[in-house]
Amino acid sequence: MGPGQIPPRGVGRGWGCIVTEVERRAALDAIGAEVSACTRCRLHETRTKAVPGEGTSESEVIFVGEGPGYNEDKQGRPFVGQAGTLLTELLGVIGWSRDVVFITNVVKCRPPENRDPEADEIAACAPFLTRQLAALDPALVVTLGRFSMGRFNPGARISQVHGTVRRADSESGASNALTFSMYHPAAALHQQSLRETLFLDMEGIPAALLAARKMRAAGVGDADLPERPRAATLITSVETAPEVSQVGQNVRADAESDPTDQLPLF
Ligand code: URA
């Protein structure tokens, strides 16, 4: 396995996988087929193609954006426009490619004129993301933008939590995962300072994945987390959130302090 590769599912997890990759893939494909034919909300009336998401069923990491834009709507694939180019560049920072993760969105059809998705549209689409999460059972959910963050960390503010690790909300469908919040790449296209923040935040993802693996290896259920994952500062409420820069330092410093942590990833 080369540098920066995510190891195959099961490596470094410390718990048995009873679902086969064939079953995971089949589940994701079935969800994709349903999404493509979905008429649950008004967004189907104006879409060209629905965008279920894409990536490997073997990944422990899912990236969740907001909703398809112009190019995604034409191609039926997530993050293929300018924001997608930036996302691919960001993944390169940690030696990953799109092929080693799964990428999807909160809403699977393009909101007209790229407006924000509305609450009823998000609600109508929510079961698809829930089922994708159940099929993938990710260790780490990377949220891109505030709509995605709102699904996994309701009430959090992106300016306060970007670049940090949190436990996914129990209602999110990813209750055995950690979340890592990032600004949306599209927001950085015209704002240089956000672009720099995104690149800096990206560097925290490997440590966040290690923290998620440790949490899962400990067999910790959603209700009975005995202690916070050691490798990262886990924030459970905005009130207790340390300064963002401090969190980033903690994540990286702790991961570096245990050389065995580095083995699976690098
Ligand atoms: N923005 C998103 O949130 N998702 C995409 O797929 C593309 C742009």
Summarised one tens digit per residue, pLDDT across range 179-236 is 999 999 999 999 999 999 999 999 999 999 999 999 999 976 544 443 333 333 333 3
What tokens does 21 get?
A: 């990759």
Asked, for residue 182, whether it belongs to a domain, the answer is: yes
Asked, for residue 130, whether it belongs to a domain, the answer is: yes
CB of 54 within 6 A of ligand 1: the answer is no
* Atom number in ligand 1 closest to CA 184: 3
What is the per-residue pLDDT for 219?
A: 78
What is the per-residue pLDDT for 168?
A: 95
Residues near 85 by beta carbon (within 8 Å), at least 6 away in sequence: none
For residue 102, how far is its CA from the centre of ligand 1 (angstroms)?
A: 13
Asked, for residue 50, whether it belongs to a domain, the answer is: yes
Q: For residue 125, how many other CB atoms are within 10 A of its CB?
A: 23
Amino acid at 225: L
Which has the closest alpha carbon to 198: 62, 122, 85, 105? 85
For residue 113, how far is its CA from the centre of ligand 1 (angstroms)?
A: 13
CB of 78 within 6 A of ligand 1: the answer is yes
The residue to mutate among 85, 90, 104, 105, having the most atoms of ligand 1 within 8 angstroms of its beta carbon, is 105
Q: Give the span between the Cα atoms of 57 and 62, in whole angstroms.
A: 10
Q: How confident is the model at residue 175 (pLDDT cuts 50, 70, 90)?
A: confident
Which of the 8 DSSP states describes residue 40?
S
CB of 128 within 6 A of ligand 1: the answer is no
What is the per-residue pLDDT for 55?
A: 97
Asked, for residue 102, whether it belongs to a domain, the answer is: yes
Asked, for residue 67, whether it belongs to a domain, the answer is: yes
For residue 158, how far is its CA from the centre of ligand 1 (angstroms)?
A: 17
pTM of the complete model: 0.81
CB of 69 within 6 A of ligand 1: the answer is yes
Q: Does pLDDT of 137 surpass 50?
A: yes
What sign for the dihedral angle of Cα 133, 138, 144, 146?
positive
For residue 77, how far is its CA from the centre of ligand 1 (angstroms)?
A: 9
The residue to mutate among 43, 48, 73, 79, having the most atoms of ligand 1 within 8 angstroms of its beta carbon, is 79
For residue 253, how far is its CA from the centre of ligand 1 (angstroms)?
A: 32
For residue 184, how far is its CA from the centre of ligand 1 (angstroms)?
A: 9
Q: Where are the beta strands (DSSP E) in the chain?
A: 54-55, 61-65, 102-105, 140-144, 165-167, 178-182, 234-235
Question: Total domain count for the chain?
Answer: 1
Its domain, for residue 180, covers 21-220+229-257
Asked, for residue 129, whether it belongs to a domain, the answer is: yes
Q: How confident is the model at residue 254 (pLDDT cuts 50, 70, 90)?
A: very low
Q: Across residues 166-178, what is the average pLDDT?
A: 94
The rounded mean pLDDT for the chain is 82
What is the per-residue pLDDT for 166?
A: 96
Q: Across residues 32-47, what is the average pLDDT?
A: 98
Q: Across residues 39-46, what is the average pLDDT?
A: 98
What is the per-residue pLDDT for 265?
A: 27
Asked, for residue 262, whether it belongs to a domain, the answer is: no
What is the per-residue pLDDT for 227?
A: 36
Which has the closest alpha carbon to 181: 150, 138, 210? 150
Backbone angles phi, psi at 79, to 5 degrees: 50, 60
* R_g over Cα of the chain: 17
Which of the 8 DSSP states describes residue 11?
T
Asked, for residue 136, whether it belongs to a domain, the answer is: yes
Q: How confident is the model at residue 7 (pLDDT cuts 50, 70, 90)?
A: low
Q: Give the span between the Cα atoms of 153 and 144, in whole angstroms.
A: 12
Q: Rounded to 10 degrees, what is the CA torsion of 131, 135, 140, 145?
A: -30
What CATH number should be reported for the domain holding residue 150?
3.40.470.10
